[in-house]
Amino acid sequence: MTAAEPDGQRPVVVLVGALDTKAAEYEHLRDRLESSGVRAAVVDVGVLGPVRADVEVDRRAVAAAAGAELDALVAAGDRGAAVTAMARGAAAVVARMHAEGRLHGLLVAGGSGAAHVMSRCAQALPLGCPKVLVSTVVAGDTRPYVGTSDLVMMHSVVDLTGVDSISAVVLARAADACAGMVFGAVAAPPTAPVPADVVACSVLGVTTAGTVAVSGDLRRRGLEVHAFHANGTGGRCLEALVRSGLVTAVADLTPGEVADEVCGGAFSAGPGRMEAAGERGVPQVVSTGGLDMVKFGPRETLPEAVAGRRLHVHNPAVTLVRTDARECAAIGAVVAEKLNRATGPVEVHVPLGGWSELSVPGGPFHDPDADAALVDALRDGLAPRVEVHLHEGDVNDPVFATAVAAALARTVEQDHRPRS
């Protein structure tokens, strides 16, 4: 018996879909799950087409869970408004089913509407609960759908307009994947107690060495460290974790997503990046890792505005453009304004030798004048209570890592907020 089989019952995978347009696809998924020994429970979020009776939760109940009237949604004939309402209702339904032990996994299939429904449902379910999305949208920008969830996505290859020789295989394998996850034992917690103090840390590939060094030092001091890739989604996850109250301190070594937000890059975490810790009074040590670049997609997609700028092809999917002095000054002002609003202790540590492995002396992004513009903006904009520490090494220098870890450990020791 696994954790997904209470009292010997079969695990349940909930299928959430618009049965007015995807009935055949969901019947295929249901049959495949049932053949694997999984019970499939269907939640209908369709609005404008025929009603199906063979469902666990019908569309009227889903609409009611969203605080809406199904008849009003039908009468309005507005598909966008209907999808928004039904997604909200579906999230409430799956959360309740999970709390009652009637959901061990979630599977959604369809286009952008289905992906939006999954985005709401995935956020309503806890980490570790299997969540599988089959859709054409996973071939594009998936950040709006993933959010901060542990969502598993499978490209449908063909548009899901019925079950054909291709979609039948893809849907079957999606069902198999979800079945495998719900039958698998729940990941066991660490055998040793989780430390009471948890640090959220930001990182990019070009600042990894420094982050690893800082994380190792903090772990030796008895703190648990969660690292978040500063690619937009990672920053949003970091902010969400801080807001959840599960973080003791933040080592924001690589706030590079702020540069993307200020300069129009492709990997922004949104305007709320670097704000959750300040709002909650969580101690934070902030550095300048990744602020020497703006991240874009493939080189051929670069906007004309950055033509002729210094750039570095990080990989075929990511192109980096060096931030200039004007942009650095603007970034520094934004960072200062955010940190001034912090209600907890803040320290800024700047590695003068480079903010990534690309901007060290001799590197393609080495630009002391641009760096100085950001440092000057920080010093001019920060309130006197926010200390700025300058270090000779670069962001990946072990000596710098030791100084940052010591500063963070000190702020944690001095923080007298009640632990949640």
Sequence-distant (≥ 6) Cβ neighbours of residue 212 within 8 angstroms = none
Q: Which CATH architecture has domain 198-414?
A: 3-Layer(aba) Sandwich (3.40)
The candidate with the shortest Cα–Cα distance to 309, out of 360, 264, 255, is 264
Tokens representing 360 are: 């060290």
In the predicted model, is pLDDT for residue 376 greater than 70?
yes
Rounded CA-CA distance 293/374 in Å is 12
pLDDT level of residue 144 (50, 70, 90 thresholds): confident
| pLDDT for res 400 | 97
| pLDDT for res 279 | 96
Rounded CA-CA distance 204/293 in Å is 11
Domain boundaries, the chain: 6-183, 198-414
Q: Which of 187-191, 193-197, 292-296, 358-362 has the lowest mean pLDDT?
A: 187-191
**DSSP letters of 292-349?**
TEEEESSGGG--GGGTTS-EEEEETTEEEEE--HHHHHHHHHHHHHHHHT-SS-EEEE
| pLDDT for res 393 | 95
Between strands 318-322 and 311-315, the pairing is: antiparallel
| pLDDT for res 3 | 43
Rounded CA-CA distance 10/34 in Å is 10
Return the C-alpha torsion angle 248, 251, 254, 258, nearest 10: 50
In the predicted model, what is the mean pLDDT of the chain? 90
In the predicted model, is pLDDT for residue 63 greater than 90?
yes
Q: What is the mean predicted confidence (pLDDT) over 382-409? A: 96
CB 71 within 8 A of CB 43: no
In the predicted model, is pLDDT for residue 58 greater than 70?
yes
Return the C-alpha torsion angle 288, 293, 297, 303, nearest 10: 140
Of 372 and 142, the structure prediction assigns the larger pLDDT to 372
Tens digits of residue pLDDT in 102-129: 999 999 999 888 988 999 999 999 888 9
pLDDT level of residue 2 (50, 70, 90 thresholds): very low
Tens digits of residue pLDDT in 243-297: 988 899 999 999 999 999 999 999 999 999 999 999 999 999 999 999 999 999 9
Rounded CA-CA distance 251/280 in Å is 15
In the predicted model, is pLDDT for residue 190 greater than 80?
no
In the predicted model, is pLDDT for residue 352 greater than 80?
yes
| pLDDT for res 420 | 52
Superfamily of domain 6-183: Uncharacterised protein family UPF0261, NN domain (3.40.50.12020)
Q: What is the mean predicted confidence (pLDDT) over 170-195? A: 78
Q: What is the mean predicted confidence (pLDDT) over 205-224? A: 92
Q: What is the mean predicted confidence (pLDDT) over 166-193? A: 82
Angle at 404 between CA 225 and CA 346, to 5 degrees: 90
Tens digits of residue pLDDT in 247-262: 999 999 999 999 999 9
Rounded CA-CA distance 172/302 in Å is 39
- Judge if 6-183 and 198-414 fold alike in CATH terms: yes
pLDDT level of residue 416 (50, 70, 90 thresholds): low
CB 218 within 8 A of CB 251: yes
CB 87 within 8 A of CB 116: yes
Per DSSP, the three-state class of 226 is: strand
pLDDT level of residue 79 (50, 70, 90 thresholds): confident
| pLDDT for res 329 | 98
pLDDT level of residue 6 (50, 70, 90 thresholds): very low
CB 47 within 8 A of CB 70: yes
| pLDDT for res 49 | 76
Q: In this structure, what are the phi and psi dihedrals at residue 362, rounded to the nearest 5 degrees? A: 90, -10
| pLDDT for res 80 | 84
Which one-letter amino acid corresponds to residue 11? P
CA R_g for the chain: 24
CB 347 within 8 A of CB 300: no
| pLDDT for res 7 | 39
In the predicted model, is pLDDT for residue 419 greater than 70?
no
Q: Which of 307-311, 315-319, 323-327 has the lowest mean pLDDT?
A: 315-319
Tokens representing 320 are: 């980096």
Chain centroid offset of residue 99 CA? 23
Of 185 and 33, the structure prediction assigns the larger pLDDT to 33
| pLDDT for res 48 | 78
CB 97 within 8 A of CB 103: yes
